[in-house]
Amino acid sequence: MRRLASLAGPAVVLCLALLAACTPRFQDLGPASSARPQLGEREVMMDDGTSLPVEVWRAARPRAVVVAVHGFNGYSEDFALPGPWLARHGLTVYTYDQRGFGRTPQRGLWPGTERMVADLKTMVALARARNPGRPVYVLGISMGGAVAMAAMADGLKPDGAILVAPAVWGWETMNPVYTSTLWLAAHTVPWLELTGEGVEVWPSDNIDMLRAYARDPLNMKATRVDTLYGLVSLMDDAYLAADRFDVPVLYLYGEHDELVPETPTRETMERISAPKRTVIYENGWHMLLRDKQRERVYRDVLAWIRDRGASLPSGEEVAAASDR
């Protein structure tokens, strides 16, 4: 018995060492830089010297500016449909590939919530400086909506935020079996890539768009387990941020959303303490800005930006999440 006890200590140390060797791997962000952030036509330089790809759709006579933040495993192409439409209707749209996605360095590795928030803050500041006198709005879809919420809770002050099915399914709201499994995988096989193959989930009713999405090599099809772990942490930050900012919000969600569950979504809608308006689209899916009825959503966004107190064209606004 004493021999077993004497061996137990080294065994525990060995197990802990093995676990430490398999901790989640995130991006190497390098030392702080004195680089001055700059916004160009095709790229933006962040304050650490990293350049991220940019897309811009310019309005002929802009009445407002929109900084758009893409979703998980996507990139700026997420706004290839709404961007030109909004520009034709008077909104200049800037979007960028977030670190780890699209055409950025260290693609596939999670950059961390703090860095993603800092990048969004920089992008909003640069867009505001480039368009003096114009109100600046943040439009975040799914993961991008979570980044926007975390950034606003950390002091970002756009003139308003459009949250399109924001990813709020974090540690606080996820099934404990899922969280335990993800934690274990992220700390034992962080390099393991998951594809979602065999999982029957439809993000949109726009089949032609989904086929094009699948063919685009810049949309990631396989995801490291530690990147999923980072995403859940970001979603948790967004969920907890709901009552910690005062920026006016337009919250959009589809009744057919199969990616962000209804329960944490409704809880988040209710917990947002800032001035808010909520629209739940009867025929909407997760990719609301690319669904077949997408222009219905665009018109609501445009109407809200023009006048936050005006009636929304879709007629699907609800007073509170509990009304549905």
Rounded Cα distance between 77 and 274, Å, is 30
In the chain, where the domains are located: 24-323
pLDDT score at 73: 96
Q: Summarize pLDDT for 301-323 with one digit per residue, the tens.
A: 999 999 999 999 999 999 754 44
pLDDT attached to residue 4: 34
Q: What is the residue-wise DSSP string for 267-298?
A: HHHHH--SSEEEEEETT--S-TTTSTTHHHHH
| pLDDT score at 173 | 80
191-220 pLDDT, tens per residue? 898 887 767 889 999 999 999 999 999 999
Q: Is the pLDDT of residue 90 over 70?
A: yes
State residue 23's pLDDT score: 84
Question: Of 110, 79, 88, 24, whose CA–CA distance to 294 is shortest?
Answer: 79
What pLDDT, on the 0 to 100 scale, is given for residue 104? 96
Indicate whether 110 pLDDT > 80: yes
State the pLDDT at residue 14. Answer: 39
pLDDT band at 12 (very low <50, low <70, confident <90, very high): very low
Residue 19 in this model has a pLDDT that exceeds 50? no
Asked if residue 152 lies in contact with residue 251, where contact means CB atoms within 8 angstroms, the answer is no
Decide the pairing of beta strands 43-45 and 38-39: antiparallel
Name the percent of the chain lying above pLDDT 90.
76
Q: What is the pLDDT of residue 150?
A: 98
Query: Are 85 and 113 contacting, i.e. CB atoms less than 8 angstroms apart?
Result: no
pLDDT at 82 over 70: yes
Cα-trace Rg, the chain: 21
pLDDT in tens, 280-306: 999 999 999 999 999 999 999 999 999
Residue 233 burial (CB count, 10 A): 16
Whole-number Å distance between alpha carbons of 93 and 105:
23
Model confidence at 57: pLDDT above 70: yes
Model pLDDT, residue 33: 67
State the average pLDDT over residues 40-46: 94
Residue 13 predicted with pLDDT over 90? no
Q: How confident is the model at residue 272 (pLDDT cuts 50, 70, 90)?
A: very high
Residue ranges of E strands in the chain: 38-39, 43-45, 51-57, 64-69, 91-96, 136-141, 160-164, 193-194, 223-224, 249-254, 276-281, 317-318
CB neighbours of residue 117 within 10 Å = 22
On the question of pLDDT at 86 being above 80, the answer is yes
Q: In this predicted structure, what is the pLDDT of residue 323?
A: 43
Backbone angles phi, psi at 20, to 5 degrees: -65, -30
pLDDT of residue 259: 94
Output the pLDDT for position 30: 65
CA dist 97 and 112 (Å) reads 15
For the cut 60, the answer to whether the pLDDT of residue 76 exceeds it is: yes
Q: In sequence order, which residues have a C-beta less than 8 Å from that of residue 288 and are 6 or more positions away?
A: 141, 164, 165, 252, 253, 254, 281, 294, 297
Q: Tokens standing for 318?
A: 């609800």
Mean of the per-residue pLDDT values of the chain: 90
Q: Which CATH class is domain 24-323?
A: alpha beta
Q: In this model, does residue 17 exceed pLDDT 70?
A: no
CA distance 77 to 305: 23
d(CA 209, CA 197): 19
Residues 141-167 have a mean pLDDT of 98
pTM metric for this prediction: 0.90
Confidence of residue 32 (pLDDT cuts 50, 70, 90): low
pLDDT confidence band for 230 (50 / 70 / 90): very high
